Amino acid sequence: MNSCLFLLLVLLPGTAQAQQYDLLLKNGHVIDPKNRINSVKDVAILNGKIAAVADAIDASKSLKTVDVSGMYVAPGFIDIHAHFSGSPGAAIFPDSHTLRSGVTTAVDAGGTGWRNFPEFRKKAMDTALVRVLAWINIVGRGMDGRAGEQNAKDMDPRSTAAMVNSNRDRIVGIKTAHYDGPEWVAVERAVEAGKIANVPVMVDFGTFRKERPFQELVLRKLRPGDIYTHLYLNSVPMLDEKGRVLPYLFEARKRGVLFDAGHGQGSFLFRQAVPAVQQGFIADTISTDLHIGSINAGMKDMSVVMSKFLIMGVPLEEVIARSTWAPARAIHHEELGHLSVNAVADVAVFRVEKGDFGFVDSYKAGMRGTQRIVCELTLRDGRVAWELNGITRESWDKLGKYDSQGDSRWDATSEDGRNSRLPGAVPTAPAK
């Protein structure tokens, strides 16, 4: 009996080894800033995790092999500023603009507060294929209209921190936003909640007022690791009269305050961004501020925002770093944002298209560029969640009278994946 069990234990891994990997991406140019990889490598995946990254991995070892030569392979992009909660017509369905632009983790930026976060978690987070995390708003009802967002009486650090503590797998920090008053109360309560729960704070500074100068926000009020979002907003004191970046910004950065792009509908101007980037004041993290008002305007999606940094002269590896490993660290999710062996296999496969392209900022000024990031394939937990040109698929006329293709070991859009997303079916909750 004992020896039987022993035999079984020995044999089981042995039989599994016949198919060592579920999915193998061959010949892609891997950019993995955390691990300082920037060269052609094969990437193998097993059970939703990175199993190997090496110069040449034998295709016969994998259930499914996809040739990605000519493309880049990066950790799935992490967008730390998006909006998935709130009314239809403001929020975006999480899977609709993320996966197609290589985003595998997106962080809702304060749409809900401690009063309505649980409902958001249940209805939107748990049913999305993209990994949805959240900044919780310091206002109890979150972004429930501009008037509600001014209600300092509903800014309760203790209740907010308590909600963080009971949802640590989903809530990454505290958000304060859209505050118009002359006092520091919104920022201070958010930082207080951040201290209690030991999480960072993300600040949208609302109306910029002389009673609470921006310089004081980033030089005194925020702690190292706290984030100011909407970096290239018109209102941010960015350049002196000669067009030089003001020194206090570098000082704030030295203190450890982080600066996030948070492009959105109104918060990204080339006349702020281009000179700043040229002088080395580049956003620590690249993010979209995705909502209905930004997806059809200059912002569009994560790959467009990343492309803007590329055409402003930021090297591709840097653009990737600020969209993967840097945001993973900013939200204290260091298990994400890289392709280390055993890391979650969230992967973006993309091309850099060459041509004559145009980009638009929040005041509707244009900028021409010759490069554009186009996402070809997105893997979430090791499974295909988006592909632009069917690179994982067999040609229909070689398949006879085929039925549903794909295998749920590598394909989240296979019949299993699809059925779980049809009305009436029980949604499959992502692993995390």
**Least distance CB 311 / other proteins (angstroms):** 12
Give kind and range of the element (H or E) at residue 380.
Answer: strand 366-380
| 186-245 binders of other proteins (CB under 8 A) | 234
| 377-406 binders of other proteins (CB under 8 A) | 385-387, 389-391, 393-397, 399, 401-406
Cα distance between residue 173 and residue 331, in whole Å: 7
**Least distance CB 132 / other proteins (angstroms):** 12
Q: Which stretch binds other proteins (CB under 8 A): 135-143, 152-160, 244-252, 352-360?
A: 352-360
Cα distance between residue 273 and residue 299, in whole Å: 14
| 73-92 binders of other proteins (CB under 8 A) | 87-90, 92
Of the candidates 196, 85, 75, 187, the residue with the CA atom closest to the CA atom of residue 133:
85
Cα distance between residue 168 and residue 255, in whole Å: 26
- Residue placing its CB nearer to other proteins in the complex, 86 or 194: 86
* Phi-psi label, residue 260: left if phi above 0, alpha if psi -120 to 50, beta otherwise: beta
Q: Is 354 in the site for other proteins (CB under 8 A)?
A: no
**Least distance CB 28 / other proteins (angstroms):** 17
The CA angle 330-293-131, to the nearest 5 degrees, is 40
Could you say which of 16, 123, 220, 429 contacts other proteins (CB under 8 A)? 123
Q: Is 294 in the site for other proteins (CB under 8 A)?
A: yes
| 250-279 binders of other proteins (CB under 8 A) | 265, 269-271, 274
- Residue placing its CB nearer to other proteins in the complex, 26 or 383: 383
- Residue placing its CB nearer to other proteins in the complex, 118 or 224: 118
Cα distance between residue 318 and residue 125, in whole Å: 30
By the 8 A CB rule, do 263 and 294 touch? yes
- Residue placing its CB nearer to other proteins in the complex, 52 or 274: 274
**Least distance CB 104 / other proteins (angstroms):** 12
H helices of 242-314, in order, are 247-255, 270-278, 292-295, 302-311
Cα distance between residue 162 and residue 168, in whole Å: 10
Find residue 209's DSSP bridge partners: 212
* Phi-psi label, residue 325: left if phi above 0, alpha if psi -120 to 50, beta otherwise: alpha
- Residue placing its CB nearer to other proteins in the complex, 40 or 388: 388
**Least distance CB 339 / other proteins (angstroms):** 22
Q: Is 365 in the site for other proteins (CB under 8 A)?
A: yes
Size of the site for other proteins (CB under 8 A): 69
**Least distance CB 268 / other proteins (angstroms):** 11
Q: What is the sign of the dihedral through the CA atoms of 320, 325, 326 and 330? A: positive
* Per-residue tokens: 344: 């979650």
Could you say which of 41, 83, 263, 300 contacts other proteins (CB under 8 A)? 300
Cα distance between residue 175 and residue 203, in whole Å: 6
Which residue type, as a one-letter code, is found at position 14?
A: G
Q: Which residues bind other proteins (CB under 8 A)?
A: 87-90, 92-93, 95-97, 99-100, 119, 123-124, 127, 129, 234, 265, 269-271, 274, 292-298, 300, 357-361, 363-368, 385-387, 389-391, 393-397, 399, 401-406, 411, 413-414, 418, 421-425, 427
